[in-house]
């Protein structure tokens, strides 16, 4: 019997291997543009047709290739970027695997025109399904132009696997953003057929971010980005985080390391934690964070399509990152500027008590609610417009579009200076306050009207007070006349024992009775009026759920549940002094915008908004 094992022909082997690297048009774009970056290009033009199915063209002004290299470039494992395994640990280029061009040529029809500055003539190579059809000397610009036509022309199964044009285009944009955001010194143009999608001049990272995501709302983007900057032996961190009020459900979040996009769920947690309690629970902050580390200390994924990167000093970098974000949130004073108004305040004589206020008898519409809509509207990001540009193109490509790189002059834009942040000023003699429905405190601001949820405000105030007490171990306790017994199950007692020190710092006083029971002899001053045992059980419950959750500590959980139960309730009538006291203490707290569990405390109605209603 004859042997049955044989080597696959190169064309088949390449097609199989290509599947790893080239999954869709976006992968081609990524590989070509990364090659242009590696070639030192300062200007890269991209054209796609039919979502990249029929054409992906990348033209750069980089260093070009020699005649031999132009041919060699398509060989598998042919690269100019590394020579041995050790080089993998000092990578300065995007590419290093030497398989992208081989893969692309295995599954598409490729034309390459390239010329080095020192050569008179350039090279033209035409290759499809790994077969070279033509190679000749041509006149062309310095740099490199790739045209990749009819992707998967010889692999129908792959072609069928592609999604709708819009989906493929969104993959293309994803790859484009990942490269453009971290190469802001390179100018880019991106065309979808005849539509110009992006025209990005060389600039700095901040301007690049605004040019990509700001679209029609550049001002807002300029206002939302806070700079972060730290430099240590292990890592230097640069970049921007969006202010908490710009947080959104599907936030825009990017990490880069040494000029390369990466996904890093662990560092992502560090960012979220720095924003802890500043944003609503279901929202997330925008961020663009650029790390630079010694290439020896990271392991760039060997897999061509994976973006996870391993760090040697992960924990230390985690802490540095978190601290540096917290610092800039603090430094740039994320508190909105609020000036309490004295003139033009709600016109109410100070002597007149709230009880005497009567609704007008005539023309009174009890259903009219001036506060029916929220003052704060998040501007819709420009996604719809972005995708609105996409329309199906049926024309087929004949010739290379006639682009003049000169027609798009890269220009340097200097960064917009950090705008001066105003600091909140609370006036000593604030105008009188008004309580609406025994629930909201309303007061007048220079810029409009401020409305505060009294319960939530008080939760925030007490929460910070309790945290402070726990941390400074300052208990204010009051003994109870008739001690109550707390009986716990065997597992609950384990958690309860972890809570004990904090509870004692807050003013609780317990006497262990054995058998998982405790005699409750003292409670914190001013604690709510309900049952102490119920309160302790609620606190225990919260502590249980936070036990695994990284984002809150035991302190915070205990302080929060106590604050929740002790805070004044909605429906409780307040005197003018009490309202003033709440306002003063709220604005003295670290975060007057949200409760510890992310609920909104205040809303501002600007003059314009109010005027518009009349
Ligand atoms: P890698 O980027 O991993 O080296 P590729 O298959 O992407 O592998 O490219 C192979 C080689 O072709 C590169 O190492 C580089 O020398 C050359 N090359 C590819 N694209 C360009 C370009 N746009 N300009 C100059 N040289 C290029
Ligand atoms: Mg490459």
3-state SS record for 382-434: CHHHHHHCCCCCCCCCCCCCCCCHHHCCCCCCCCCCCCCCCCCECCCCCCCCE
**Residue 396 scores a pLDDT above 80:** no
Asked if the model's pLDDT at residue 31 lies above 80, the reply is yes
What digits encode the pLDDT tens for the residues 334-384? 544 455 554 433 333 333 333 334 444 334 444 444 443 333 333 333 333
156-177 tens-digit pLDDT = 888 988 999 999 999 999 999 9
Average pLDDT score, the chain: 81
DSSP for 165-205 reads HHHHHHHHHHHHHHHHTT-TTSEEEEEETTEEEEEE-S--H
Residue 524 and residue 504: Cα distance in Å, rounded? 9
The answer to whether residues 151 and 25 touch, using CB atoms and an 8 Å cutoff, is yes
Q: Are 100 and 74 in contact (CB under 8 A)?
A: no
Question: What is the number of the ligand 1 atom nearest to the C-alpha of 80?
Answer: 14
Closest listed residue to residue 28, CA positions, set 96, 88, 91, 109: 109
Per mean pLDDT, which of 86-90, 303-307, 346-350, 565-569 is the most reliable? 565-569
CA–CA separation, 106 and 155 (whole Å):
10
User: Which of 566-594 are b and which e, b meaning 16 or more Cβ less than 10 Å from the residue's Cβ?
Assistant: bbbeeeeebebebbbebbebbbebebbbb
Q: Which ligand is nearest to the CA of 34?
A: 2
Ligand lying nearest the CA atom of residue 97: 1
Contact 354/585 with Cβ under 8 angstroms?
no
- For a ligand 1 pocket test, name from 64, 101, 118, 130 the mutation site with the most ligand atoms within 8 angstroms of its C-beta: 101
Of 465, 588, 489, nearest in space to 544 by CA:
489
408-614: CATH class: alpha beta
Directed axis angle between helix 100-107 and helix 10-21, to 10°? 110
Mutate to test the pocket of ligand 1, among 14, 32, 79 (most ligand atoms within 8 A of CB): 79
The answer to whether the beta carbons of residues 201 and 410 sit under 8 Å apart is: yes
The whole-angstrom separation of Cα 208 and Cα 413 is 10
Per residue in 202-261, pLDDT (tens digit) is 999 999 999 998 876 777 777 889 999 999 999 999 999 998 888 888 889 999 999 999
Question: Whose structure tokens read 């995708």?
Answer: 387
Quick one: average pLDDT of 484-490?
A: 87
DSSP collapsed to 3 states, 447-504: CEEEEEEHHHHHHHHHHHHHHHHHHHCCCCEEEEEEEEEEECCHHHHHHHHHHHHHHH
| C-alpha distances in Å from residue 182, one per residue of 175, 205, 210 | 12, 7, 13
* Protein residue whose Cα sits closest to atom 12 of ligand 1: 73
Residue whose Cα lies nearest atom 8 of ligand 1: it is 98
Domain ranges of the chain: 10-202, 206-331, 408-614
Tell me how far the alpha carbon of residue 262 lies from the centroid of ligand 2, in angstroms. Answer: 17
Which residues form the pocket of ligand 1, taking CB atoms under 6 Å from any ligand atom? 31, 35-36, 39, 60, 62-65, 73, 78-81, 95-101, 144
Is residue 324 within 8 Å of residue 230, measured between CB atoms? Answer: yes
How many residues belong to the chain? 614
What's the confidence (pLDDT) of residue 1? Answer: 65
Q: With 0-12 CB in 10 A as exposed, 13-18 as middle and 19+ as buried, what is 234?
A: middle
The rounded Å distance from CA 447 to ligand 2 centre is 55
Please report where in the chains the tokens 């695994």 appear, as a residue: 548
Q: What residue ranges in 95-180 does DSSP mark as E strands?
A: 109-115, 122-128, 131-138, 143-149
Which of 277, 258, 270 minimizes the C-alpha distance to 325? 270
Q: Ligand 1 center to residue 293 CA distance, Å? A: 25
- Per-residue pLDDT of 494-531, as tens digits, reads 888 888 888 988 889 999 888 889 999 888 887 766 78
And the tokens for 575?
């005197």
On the question of pLDDT at 408 being above 60, the answer is no
Ligand nearest to the CA of 44: 1
Q: What is the pLDDT at residue 56? A: 98
In CATH terms, 10-202 corresponds, of 3.40.1130.10, 1.10.510.10, 3.30.565.10, 3.40.190.10, to 3.30.565.10
| pLDDT tens column, 274-331 | 888 788 888 899 999 999 999 999 988 767 778 889 999 899 999 999 989 988 887 7
Measured in Å, residue 79 CA sits from the centre of ligand 1 at 6
Considering only 141-150, 410-419, 537-546, which range has the smallest mean pLDDT? 410-419
Three-class SS state of 219 = helix
Atom of ligand 1 nearest to the CA of 34: 2
With 0.85 as the threshold, say if the pTM is over it. no
Tell me which fold the domain 206-331 belongs to. Ribosomal Protein S5; domain 2 (3.30.230)
């Amino acid at each position: 019997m004859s042997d049955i094992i044989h080597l696959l022909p190169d064309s088949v082997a390449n097609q199989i291997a290509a599947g790893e690297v080239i999954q869709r048009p976006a992968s081609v774009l990524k590989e070509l543009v990364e090659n242009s970056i590696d070639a030192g290009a300062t200007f890269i033009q991209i054209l796609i047709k039919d979502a990249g199915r029929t054409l992906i063209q990348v033209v750069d002004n980089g260093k070009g290739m020699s005649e031999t290299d132009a041919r060699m470039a398509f060989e598998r494992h042919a690269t100019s970027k590394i020579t041995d395994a050790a080089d993998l640990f000092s990578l300065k280029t995007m590419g290093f695997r030497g398989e992208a061009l081989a893969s692309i040529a295995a599954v598409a029809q490729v034309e390459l025109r390239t010329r080095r500055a020192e050569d008179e003539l350039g090279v033209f190579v035409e290759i499809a399904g790994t077969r070279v059809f033509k190679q000749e000397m041509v006149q062309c610009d310095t740099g490199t132009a790739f045209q990749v036509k009819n992707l998967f022309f010889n692999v129908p199964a792959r072609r069928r696997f592609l999604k709708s044009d819009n989906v493929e285009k969104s993959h293309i944009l994803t790859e484009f953003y990942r490269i453009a955001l971290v190469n802001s010194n390179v100018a880019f143009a991106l065309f979808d057929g005849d539509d110009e999608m992006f025209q990005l001049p060389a600039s700095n990272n901040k301007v690049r971010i605004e040019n990509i995501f700001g679209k029609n709302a550049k001002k807002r983007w300029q206002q939302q980005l806070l700079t972060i900057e730290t430099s240590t032996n292990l890592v230097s961190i640069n970049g921007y985080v969006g202010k908490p009020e710009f947080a959104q459900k599907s936030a825009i979040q990017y990490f880069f390391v040494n000029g390369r996009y990466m996904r890093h769920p662990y560092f992502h947690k560090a960012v979220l934690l720095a924003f802890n309690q500043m944003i609503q629970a279901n929202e997330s902050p925008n961020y663009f964070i650029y790390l630079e580390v010694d290439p020896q200390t990271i392991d760039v994924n060997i897999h061509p399509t994976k973006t996870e990167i391993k760090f040697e000093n992960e924990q230390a970098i985690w802490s540095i990152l978190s601290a540096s974000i917290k610092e800039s949130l603090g430094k740039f004073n994320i508190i909105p500027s609020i000036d309490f108004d004295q003139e033009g305040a709600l016109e109410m004589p100070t002597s007149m008590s709230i009880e005497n206020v009567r609704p007008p008898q005539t023309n009174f519409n009890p259903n009219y609610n001036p506060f029916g809509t929220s003052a704060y509207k998040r501007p819709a990001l420009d996604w719809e417009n972005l995708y609105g540009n996409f329309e199906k193109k049926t024309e087929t490509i004949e010739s290379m579009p006639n682009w003049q790189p000169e027609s798009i002059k890269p220009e340097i834009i200097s960064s917009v200076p950090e705008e001066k942040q105003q600091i909140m000023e609370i006036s000593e003699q604030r105008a009188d306050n008004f309580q609406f429905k025994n629930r909201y405190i309303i007061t007048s601001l220079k810029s409009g009207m401020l409305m505060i949820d009294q319960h939530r405000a008080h939760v925030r105030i007490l929460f910070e007070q309790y945290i402070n007490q726990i941390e400074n171990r300052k208990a204010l306790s009051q003994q109870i006349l008739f001690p109550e017994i707390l009986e716990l199950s065997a597992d609950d007692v384990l958690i309860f024992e972890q809570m004990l020190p904090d509870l004692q710092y807050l003013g609780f006083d317990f006497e262990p009775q054995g058998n998982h029971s405790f005699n409750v002899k003292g409670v914190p001053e001013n604690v709510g009026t309900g049952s102490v045992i119920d309160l302790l059980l609620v606190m225990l419950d919260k502590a249980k759920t936070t036990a695994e959750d990284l984002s809150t500590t035991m302190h915070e959980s205990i302080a929060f549940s106590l604050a929740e139960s002790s805070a004044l309730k909605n429906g409780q009538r307040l005197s003018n002094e009490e309202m003033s006291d709440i306002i003063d203490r709220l604005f003295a707290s670290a975060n007057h915008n949200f409760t510890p569990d992310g609920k909104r405390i205040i809303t501002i109605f600007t003059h314009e908004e109010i005027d518009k209603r009349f």
